[in-house]
Amino acid sequence: MTEPLVSLERVGKAYGSGTAGQAVLEDLSLEIAGGQLVVVHGPSGCGKTTLLNLIGGLDRVDDGRIRSCGTDLTHASRPELTAYRAHSVGFIFQFYNLLPTLTALENVEAGVRVAGVEREEARTRSSALLERVGLGDLAGRFPAQLSGGEQQRVAIARALAKRPRLLLADEPTGNLDEQTSADVLELIRELNRETGITFVIVSHNPAIAETGDRVVRLSHGRLVESAAVAPEPRVL
C-alpha cells in the first residue's frame, strides 16, 4: 500500500499547565493520502487551527506522533522544521498575510525565494502563477490596490510557487463574500487537480465542508467523522 503523505498517531495537544491547562486535541489519529483535497470542518474552538499548525510544523505535539512529507515532525530539530516549512509546505491564511510594501508579483517571489529558488526562476514561476490565478494584469499592484478576493489569489499563487507537496489553508474564504468565496474554492479545486498537490483546508463553514474529496469533522478536539465526499451527480 502507498504510504500516506501525512500521518497522525494518537496526537494530543494542550495549552497551559496544571489546573489551568486546556486540552485542544486528544487522541487524534488521521491519515491523508497524496493528492487529496481534504476539508477539516468543525465549530470555532474545536482544534482545527491547532491541527493545521501541527501538520505545518509551526507547533509540536504533546503526545503521539506526526509524519508529513517524509519528515518526523515529532522529533525534528528546529533546522529540520525550518527546511520542512520552506520546501514541503505552502500556507494560505484567512487575512492573506501579504507584505503591503511589495507588489503582487514581489509578494509571490518572496515566498519562492524562501525555498532557495534563484531570482530569475522565482520571477518566471511567480509571473506564470499570477497568470494562472487570473491576475497577470495586476502583477504590479500593491495589496491595498487589490480586492480581498484578488489578495487571496495572490496568496494562493505565493503558496504554490515553491512547488510544495502539501498546502495548508486556514479559513481561506473567511474574509470574503459568498460569490468571491465560491470563486476561490473553485480555483483551489482546479489547482488541486492540475498540480496533484495535497490540499488541507480548515473551516467552520458547512458550505465548504462538502467541496473536497474528503471531509474530516472535529468536535472538542476529537475526530468524530472522516469520510469521502460523494461526487455530484452527472447531468445527462
Task: Examine the domain organization and report whether 38 and 125 are in the same domain.
Answer: no
Task: Examine the domain organization and report whether 191 and 84 are in the same domain.
Answer: yes
Does some domain include residue 93? Answer: no
Task: Examine the domain organization and report whether 2 and 82 are in the same domain.
Answer: yes
Task: Examine the domain organization and report whether 36 and 72 are in the same domain.
Answer: yes
Task: Examine the domain organization and report whether 67 and 174 are in the same domain.
Answer: yes
- Number of structural domains (the chain) is 2
Tell me the pLDDT tens digit for each residue of 93-123: 988 999 999 999 999 999 888 888 899 999 9
Does some domain include residue 193? Answer: yes
Terminal CA-to-CA distance of the chain, rounded, Å? Answer: 36
- Report percent pLDDT > 90 for the chain: 75
Task: Examine the domain organization and report whether 64 and 144 are in the same domain.
Answer: no
Q: Which of 156, 149, 148, 147 is nearest to 107 (CA)?
A: 156
Domain that holds residue 124: 98-162
Measured between alpha carbons, how far is 203 from 181 in angstroms, rounded to an integer?
Answer: 12
pLDDT score of 236 more than 70: no
Average pLDDT, the chain: 90
pTM above 0.75, yes or no: yes
Mean pLDDT of 35-64: 93
Query: In CATH, what number is assigned to the domain containing residue 76?
Result: 3.40.50.300
**Alpha helices by DSSP H, 115-225:** 119-132, 148-161, 178-195, 206-209
Task: Examine the domain organization and report whether 135 and 229 are in the same domain.
Answer: no
Task: Examine the domain organization and report whether 65 and 113 are in the same domain.
Answer: no
Does some domain include residue 40? Answer: yes
Does some domain include residue 157? Answer: yes
**Pairing between strand 166-170 and 198-203?**
parallel
Q: Which of 93, 98, 44, 55 is nearest to 220 (CA)?
A: 44
Does some domain include residue 170? Answer: yes
Burial letters 19-30, b for 16+ CB under 10 A, else e:
eeeebbbbebeb
**Pairing between strand 6-15 and 63-68?**
antiparallel
Measured between alpha carbons, how far is 14 from 64 in angstroms, rounded to an integer?
Answer: 12
At 209 the pLDDT is 77
Tell me the pLDDT tens digit for each residue of 125-160: 999 999 999 999 999 999 999 999 999 999 999 999
Place of cell 518526523: 72
Task: Examine the domain organization and report whether 148 and 194 are in the same domain.
Answer: no
Sign of CA dihedral 119, 124, 129, 134: positive
Task: Examine the domain organization and report whether 70 and 169 are in the same domain.
Answer: yes
- Helices then strands, counting H and E runs in the chain, come out as 7, 10
**Alpha helices by DSSP H, the chain:** 48-55, 78-87, 104-113, 119-132, 148-161, 178-195, 206-209
Task: Examine the domain organization and report whether 144 and 175 are in the same domain.
Answer: no
Task: Examine the domain organization and report whether 209 and 235 are in the same domain.
Answer: yes
**What would the grid cell of residue 36 be?**
487529496
Other beta carbons within 10 Å of 195: 15
Mean pLDDT of 23-41: 94
